[in-house]
Chain A
Amino acid sequence: MSVLIFAETAKGSIKKASLEAISYGAQIAAQLQTTATAVVGGAISNEEAARAGEFGVSKVLLATNLPGHFDPMLVEQLVLKAVEASSAKIVVFSHDYAGRSVAPRIAARLKAGLVSGAVALPDTSSGFVVRKNVFSGKALAEYQMNTEVKVITLLPNSVPAQKNGSAAAVEAFDAALAGVQSSLKIEKKVREHKGGVLLTEAELVVSAGRGMKDPSNWNIIEELAETMGAATACSRPVSDIGWRPHHEHVGQTGIAIRPNLYIAVGISGAIQHLAGVNGSKVIVVINKDPEAPFFKAADYGVVGDAMEVVPRLTEAFRKFKAANS
């Protein structure tokens, strides 16, 4: 009946989204009075792998023969072997690229029920009920899971990782992948991430829309983001006309994000835009039109011209940082 969590690594440590999944899986195990095991793919030291224990798992299976990069086909084999080794009945992934690539395959192979993008711990008081966002965050649905094996992917930034344990026992896990030929070839990185904050993992995001009038005006947005240590995002029309790169486009047809703070500048707040950001904990809207629909979804609003307000806000953050460091 145990719980198995798949965790990915980046730069020698377990990824933040994976730590959330580990903590989530460990809390489910505690709820069901069973044990939680993490299976870690990627190159990390035993000490780093053992840190998964701080988030509640008692054991870590450290895959010894995966390639350095993420390969969904090999991870699928790894997780299937780990499910077998740990007799897991609940398998948890983060709802990130790895989770989206591998969890559906695992669920299909095991004919397990799958709920992807869970936003809360399951209710196990009668049956097993998992909550997720539906209609692009405009509603929530509770899924009843009755299959013997259950697969869940956890939406990043929705259930915080909790430290409540000590180092876990690390076991080298030979999933016998050495002889397995991946059917995928991962060729090259087209655009390496340039440092800065990753939009999908960012806790603070500054986003701007057509109200900026011209791409050259983005310098004030970037300055604000840099001062705050925030990632930048944009509305769809702005990426469609090439003012900003496509990967910054948030919303129903772009990416969905759930930062702690979302600052929207010169964005009207169309329903399709809100669909990608309505999971943010706090929303600040800066718009010169007091009737802009975004104000209805905002916690704090500033009615004014972005060209004047944004530099003032940057200055205020600078002062705040100086006073609080």
Chain B
Amino acid sequence: MKILVCISQVPDTTTKIAFTDNDTRFNEDKVQYIVNPYDEWYALVRALELKETLGGNVTIITVGNASVEAIIRKALAIGADDAVRIDMEAADAWSVAKSIADYASDKGFDLILAGKETIDYNGSEVPGMIAALLNQPYIALGSKLDVIGNSVSVEVEIDGEVEVISTALPCVVSAAKGMAEQRIPNMRGIMAARTKAISVLSSTEQPLVKVHKFSLPKPKSEVKLIDADQMDSLVQLLHTEAKVI
């Protein structure tokens, strides 16, 4: 099995969000970056499990400038065999997906795995675009994935029901919670990661959409405290003041 796992860098989940340059750029000052949890915990770990049972190779790919090397090392420490970095600012889903699809088009990957969405731009866009560009089937939001012979069988939750979708390899699948369990890299993995190869490629793909302004949501007004034995008045407030019931 030759597996490609798309990983992206996102701000740590506790990051305080702020903007600079007239609210046109995310303020990266003092921001800690992590591997997008869906990519690391589910897509990458499931790829490694498949390799452990079926043999093969797991390559990770990320689109970003040199600052993303730290998260690449983390993914290598968890167990990926090698890494590709496409040296370009990840400006939108199209430019990322096109660069990855161009790279993957002649490499013969059996399976491309990605996360369900990035926790910064929350797109759910990149893997579906990669699949379309490679003319491959795409199964979104898999919470369980098995490879059976020449095909994959993927459980997905659609409107509260679980369905099993299968398709022939090669294909693209995005990973949601449940596909695997998070793995913590061990010392041996961390040491081994230091000598694994990262190939750096370039791309000139241009973005199709652009953020022109960020803003923060309106701050919530002060909480209204209700006495624990006044639940009737809480229900009244929800009816007359908040108008949600």
Q: Which residues of A contact B (CB under 8 A)?
A: 10, 69-70, 72-73, 76, 95-97, 100-109, 111-117, 129, 132-147, 183-193, 198-201, 203-204, 228, 246-247, 249, 252-254, 256, 260-261, 271-272, 275, 278, 281-282, 284-285, 295-305, 308-309, 312-313, 315-317, 319-320, 324
Contacts and interface: CB of A to CB of B under 8 A. Distances in A.
Interface in B159-203: 159-168, 177-178
Contact of A108 (B124, B128, B139, B155): B128
A19 to B, nearest CB: 15
A116 B125 contact: yes
A101 B122 contact: no
B139 A107 contact: no
Given A261-B245, A302-B231, A309-B228, 18 more contacts: A97-B159, A101-B139, A108-B97, A109-B132, A114-B94, A129-B212, A134-B214, A139-B214, A143-B212, A147-B209, A184-B139, A185-B166, A186-B164, A187-B163, A200-B159, A256-B122, A319-B232, A324-B239
B92 to A, nearest CB: 8
B38 A253 contact: yes
A203 B141 CA distance: 23
Interface string B100-140: 00000000000000000001111111111101110001111
Contact of B159 (A10, A103, A117, A249): A10
Interface of B: 11, 13-15, 17, 19, 37-38, 41, 92-94, 97-98, 119-129, 131-133, 137-141, 143, 153, 155-168, 177-178, 208-217, 220-221, 223-229, 231-232, 234-239, 242, 244-245
A117 B123 contact: yes
B138 A301 contact: no
A114 B231 contact: no
Contacts of A247: 157, 160
Nearest to A259: B244
B163 A186 contact: yes
A279 to B, nearest CB: 9
11 contacts: A107-B125, A116-B122, A133-B122, A138-B216, A183-B167, A193-B161, A228-B245, A253-B38, A254-B177, A282-B242, A299-B242
Contacts of A142: 211-215
B217 A135 contact: no
B226 to A, nearest CB: 5
B1 to A, nearest CB: 19
Contacts of A296: 220, 223
Given A190-B163, A302-B234, A97 B244 contact: no
A300 B209 contact: no
A300 B214 contact: no
A102 B125 CA distance: 10
Nearest to B164: A187
A140 B214 contact: yes
Given A185-B167, A204-B244, A271-B13, A108 B208 contact: no
Contacts of B162: 189-191
A246 B238 contact: no
B18 to A, nearest CB: 9
Contacts of B242: 261, 281-282, 299-300
Contacts of A72: 138, 140
Nearest to A185: B166
B235 A105 contact: no
